[in-house]
A and B are shown apart, each in its own frame.
Chain A
């Protein structure tokens, strides 16, 4: 029997899981794009007439390099921080997909793939939380 044809008692097959993943990805992208657009409007209204200067790199001094810094900025209603929150949601979208895949493989009792998926999740979380600036 082919692994892809396997159905379990709950009626979850790979096709159904892929359908849910499709919805998950689409909503994640739409939500994050809306937040980025909202922050963009606030940013442009307030700072649109300032001069753009990106020729020299100042990123290492930006307060928007950590989740904490972004949340602090959003509470002050900073347009740049709201854009960054949207980008954080965007980065979170494929991570949410990996979490869902782990659950789906667990329901299929495919423990080899649960292990593979958790390995990928560990690498993603290390990058997002463990990488020191």
Chain B
């Protein structure tokens, strides 16, 4: 395959991944690595390097739009970024020391888990309970603009548990070159009881910084190849911007189902290829 054709096809595939990832809220990164590794037979290390930089592009682009709406909580984000960046550094170092087939198997498991998470319905908004001492000390409690224009105040709970979850999310991000937004939302939404909309936007805000923490290690190890990263970054960025534009009109329920099915197939194939040593 010529470089021209490779660039065009990878760019197109990344555009579709970014588009669906943004529409379904699952992120494009989870399908870009299997796309490169399974369809284009790109070495796993190049695949996770390219995916990681595309994650910085799409999440920063989306965060730029979200911060203006006033949902994201800067303090929660900044505090938890200590955990995610340290985790990302650890993950990136692990990635350079284990076999690519092992990374493929872990990746497959994360894909299957993401698909499972996407089938569950959105949890109910947590009720405003009593204040958590640590959360109060760290000024984590906040508010967001409610539908009636009034400020909706919320309190944050289980800070150490959320912090631990975030370290894990960062490690996965650094190991697999993904945003691991699903784990981040889980930590804030389920463990810390942060309202759903605040969790998703703050998580998006954190993904770029988390990915930047492992990008330095990836760059120094030669995982980031300009020939692959160029079509992946530009394609995924264009796709996610397009996805954000049509988000309101689209029937996301059916899309989530289709995208979920694609993720299950890719996850199973990653695990199979990992065990047979073909990746």
Q: Give residues in A with beta carbon < 8 Å to B.
A: 2-4, 14-15, 17-19, 21-23, 25-26, 28-29, 32-33, 36-37, 39-40, 43-44, 47-52, 54-62, 64-66, 79-81, 83-84, 87-88, 90-95, 97-98, 101, 105, 110, 112-113, 116-117, 119-120, 123-124, 126-129, 131-133
Complex interface: chain B residues within 8 A of A66 (CB): 219-220
- Contact yes or no, B56 A49, CB < 8 A: no
Which partner residue on chain A sits nearest B208 by CB separation?
Answer: A94
**Of B3, B43, B65, B216, the contact of A50 (CB 8 Å cutoff):** B3
Contact A57 B78 (CB under 8 A): no
Residues of A within 8 A of B219 (CB): 65-66, 88, 91, 128
B26 within 8 A of A: no
- Whether A83 pairs with B230 at a CB distance below 8 angstroms is yes
With contacts A33-B233, A120-B78 taken as known, whether A19 is within 8 angstroms of B215 at the C-beta atoms is no
Contact B57 A33 (CB under 8 A): yes
Contacts of A129 in B (CB 8 A): 216
Instruction: Name the interface size band of chain B.
Output: 35 or more
Measured in the bound complex, the distance between the Cα atoms of B221 and A124 in whole Å is 16
A90 CA to B226 CA in the complex, in Å?
A: 13
From A54, A94, A132, B212 is in contact (CB under 8 Å) with: A94
Known A33-B237, A62-B222, A80-B227; judge A52-B215 contact (CB<8 A).
no
The answer to whether B56 and A94 have CB atoms under 8 Å apart is yes
Q: Is B86 an interface residue (CB 8 A)?
A: yes
Judge if B197 is at the interface, Cβ distance under 8 Å.
Answer: no
Say if the beta carbon of B193 comes within 8 Å of chain A: no
Residues of chain B from 210 to 247 with CB closer than 8 A to chain A in the complex: 211-217, 219-231, 233-234, 237
CB–CB A123/B213 < 8 A: yes
Chain A nearest CB from B120 CB (Å) reads: 30
- A2-B153, A91-B53 in contact; A51/B85 too (CB < 8 A)? no
Q: Is the CB of B208 within 8 A of A97?
A: yes
Q: How far is the CB of B15 from chain A (nearest CB, A)?
A: 13
B222 touches A33 (CB 8 A): no
A127 touches B142 (CB 8 A): no
B43 contacts which chain A residues (CB < 8 A)?
A: 54-57
Q: Which residue of A lies closest to B6 (CB)?
A: A52
Known: A2-B141, A33-B237, A91-B53. 18 other contacts (CB 8 A): A18-B74, A22-B65, A25-B63, A28-B60, A29-B60, A33-B234, A44-B3, A44-B4, A47-B3, A52-B5, A52-B227, A57-B222, A62-B225, A65-B222, A120-B78, A127-B215, A131-B220, A132-B220
Tell me whether B78 and A113 are in contact (CB under 8 A): yes
CA distance in complex: A34, B72 (Å): 28
The 4 closest A-B pairs by CB, nearest first: A59-B222, A127-B216, A128-B216, A83-B226
How many angstroms between the C-alpha atoms of A49 and B227 in the bound complex?
13
Contact B78 A55 (CB under 8 A): no
Chain A hits for B216, CB < 8 A = 91, 124, 126-129, 131
- B133 on interface, CB distance cutoff 8 Å: no
Contact present for B42 and A54 (CB under 8 Å): yes
Q: Which of A19, A52, A83, A84 contacts B2 (CB 8 A)?
A: A52
A15 engages B70 (CB within 8 Å): yes
Inter-chain CA distance A132–B219, complex, in Å, is: 10
Q: Are B64 and A23 in contact (CB under 8 A)?
A: yes
Q: B81 contacts the other chain (Cβ, under 8 Å)?
A: yes
- Partner of B78 from the list A92, A95, A101 (CB cut-off 8 Å) is A101
**Is B79 positioned at the interface, with any CB of A under 8 Å from its CB?**
yes
| A residues near B45, Cβ cutoff 8 Å | 57, 59
* Chain B positions within 8 Å of A88 at CB level: 219
